[in-house]
Amino acid sequence: MSEPPPERFAPSAPLVQRLGVPISSVLLGSLVTIVPVIAHYPVLPPFGLLMLLGWRLLRPELFPIWAAAPFGLFDDLVSGQPLGSAILLWTISFFAIELFDQRLVWRDFWQDWLIAAGATAFCLIAGRLIASPIGAHVDTMLIVQILVSVMLFPLVARLVAWPDRKRGRA
Amino acid sequence: MAPPRTRRPGFSRRAQYGLFFGYVVAALCALIGLVLLIVSTANPPAFAALRAGVAEATAPISGAVASVDRGIAAVPQAIGHYFGVMHENAVLRAELARQHAVLTRARTLSYDNSRLKHLLALRDRSTGTITVARLISSSASSTRRFALLNAGWRQGVREGQPVSGPDGVIGRVLETGPDTARVLLLSDPESVVPVKRTRDGVPGIVNGRGDNLLEVHPVSLADPAFKVGDVLVTSGTGGLYPPGIPVARIVSRSRDGALATSFEQPDTLDYALVEQAFFRAPPPPPAP
């Protein structure tokens, strides 16, 4: 796919558009939990986290490292996890990705996928340990949820890349 | 992919400080998250108001999508029913013949029962229905099992009230907002319901497992074991659920109890009934 060359002297897109698109896409991802299905098993992937990771890995300069916390706060409010779990876990994931950015500078999509898989698995497993008692029989479903989320990441990366082209440049 | 240049501050002091400041803020945010997490683990209803506020905003969307979704979902179901109906007919006829004897006996018992109750002037507490509402969404990405009910304290819903459907217990109200309430489903790992077996009234405890099965533990270890097919109803112990609402049926036995499936499968559910708690909570002690 050949992208048209950017117009050098075009006026920059308004800030609302440049930042509003990524922010609202992550919030919409978190809001997937409001679909009217009463689920028996926790298999719905954490779309908010996946979108956030997609943006973070595609455009590292877009969000400051502390942006994970407010997104996590919103996710906590709609996900049913105890408040504070996503704030903490998503920020830790962002720190880890920052570390990878410094060590693993030249990356391909495969490495990004691996990083996203690690972050997703970490957030889901830690979230399960925080939210549910150890004896709860949710581990099989948790593994299914992690697998589904990891497999979905390329799709989410595509979903992120499309609005990224449309939102305009600074 | 080429590394972006903006993350490398170079020799600009301003850029270096900006980056460092970002790390400090992020670390502080993580710390705040940890504190919030500790607070909400120690005191789960602490941030109920915040969650209720968001739920208020999302509930109309869920409700609207649900009504469309139900219409579409009904089409394949109707086709399936048409083909299933012949077989079902035969099965039901056989079932009816078998149930007839049991039904006659149950009618007699029920008549006797009501007569005896009158005789004893037994006063059953009447538990009033508060409201009927729909369950509109659930915590599908979390290992906890919550559902959102489309009614809140404006409709009279309060914390701790039992929620049941046409087939049995669904759960209980955990948090309330103005027009929404969060319901702890039976299958949540932290849900506990005191039950008794309909066969002989032996009491037990039903725990959620988080995977749509329920664990049943007898209250006393000397109790005879549960059998597959035993029906469990609420016992009224604890004063939350009114006695006699169907809860679950045993599907298999385990080492120290049994596994059961609940009668009410809340995804097939249209309406949920919120009732008064069986015993009202005692009034708060007067301030000194």
User: Any idea of the CA torsion for B243, B247, B249, B253, to the nearest 10 degrees?
Assistant: -90
Residue A48 above 90 pLDDT? Answer: yes
* Residue among B36, B140, B212 whose CB faces A44 most closely: B140
For helices A85-103 and B13-42, give the axis angle rounded to 10 degrees: 150
Beta-carbon separation of B211 and A32 below 8 A: no
| pLDDT score, position A1 | 47
Give the three-state DSSP class for A93. helix
Percent pLDDT > 70 in chain B is 81
CB B145 within 8 A of CB B139: yes
CB B272 within 8 A of CB B132: yes
What is the distance between the alpha carbons of residues B235 and B257, in angstroms, rounded to a whole number?
17
Given an 8 Å threshold on Cβ–Cβ distance, is A68 in contact with B26? yes
Q: What is the pTM of this model?
A: 0.78
Contact B22 A47 (CB under 8 A): no
Ramachandran region, residue B146 (left: φ > 0; alpha: ψ -120 to 50; beta: rest): beta
The whole-angstrom separation of Cα A86 and Cα A75 is 7
Q: Does A28 touch chain B (CB under 8 A)?
A: no
Q: Does A145 touch chain B (CB under 8 A)?
A: yes
Q: How confident is the model at residue A153 (pLDDT cuts 50, 70, 90)?
A: very high
User: What pLDDT, on the 0 to 100 scale, is given for residue B122?
Assistant: 46
**Element spanning B131, H or E:** strand B129-133
Nearest alpha-carbon partner for A117 in A136, A96, A131:
A96
Q: What is the pLDDT of residue B115?
A: 66
Residue A52: the pLDDT is 95
Q: Which residues in chain A are closer than 8 Å to B6, comparing Cβ atoms?
A: 60-61
Q: Do A66 and B29 touch (CB under 8 A)?
A: yes
Residue B118 banded pLDDT, cuts 50, 70, 90? low
What is the distance in angstroms between the CA of the first residue and the CA of the last residue of chain B?
Answer: 69
Residue B51 pLDDT: 84
Taking CA atoms, A131 is separated from A125, A145, B33, in Å, by 10, 16, 14
Residue in B3, B58, B143 closest to A106 by CB: B3
Q: Are A40 and B212 in contact (CB under 8 A)?
A: yes
Q: Which tens digits make up the pLDDT trace of B81-91?
A: 666 777 888 88
Residue A39: C-alpha distances to residues A56, A112, B15, B79, B142 (Å): 29, 30, 47, 24, 10
What's the average model confidence in pLDDT over A20-37?
A: 88
Higher-scoring residue by pLDDT: B229, A67: A67
The secondary structure of chain A in percent helix, strand, coil, rounded to multiples of 5, reads 70, 0, 30
Residue B89 has a pLDDT of: 83
What's the pLDDT tens digit per position in B235-266? 888 888 888 888 998 898 887 788 898 888 76
Q: Which residues of A touch B148 (CB under 8 A)?
A: 34
A148: confidence class by pLDDT, cuts 50, 70, 90: very high
Is there a contact between B1 and A36 if contact means CB atoms under 8 Å apart? no
Amino acid sitting at position A136: A
Residue A49 has pLDDT above 70, yes or no: yes
Residues A65, B2: C-beta atoms closer than 8 Å:
no
> Are the Cβ atoms of A36 and B190 closer than 8 angstroms?
no
The mean pLDDT of B11-22, rounded to a whole number, is 84
Give me chain A's average pLDDT, please.
87
Closest CA to B41 of A83, A150, A4: A83
Residue A99's nearest CA partner among A125, A82, A119, A126 is A119
Q: Does residue A168 belong to the interface with chain B, where contact is any CB pair within 8 Å?
A: no
Min mean pLDDT across A7-16, A142-151, B187-196, B212-221 is at: A7-16
**CB-CB contact of A49 with A126 (8 Å):** no
- Residue of B8, B23, B141 to mutate, interface with A, max A Cβ within 10 Å: B141
The ipTM estimated for the assembled molecules is 0.81
List all residues 6 or more positions away from A142 whose beta carbon is below 8 Å from its beta carbon: A42, A124, A125, A128, B143
* CA–CA gap between residue A84 and residue A10 (Å, rounded): 42
Cα–Cα distance for residue pair A31/A106, rounded to 1 Å = 33
Q: Which residue has the higher pLDDT, A53 or B288?
A: A53
What's the pLDDT at B81? 65
Cβ distance of A91 and B33 shorter than 8 Å: yes
CB pairs under 8 A between A and B: 199
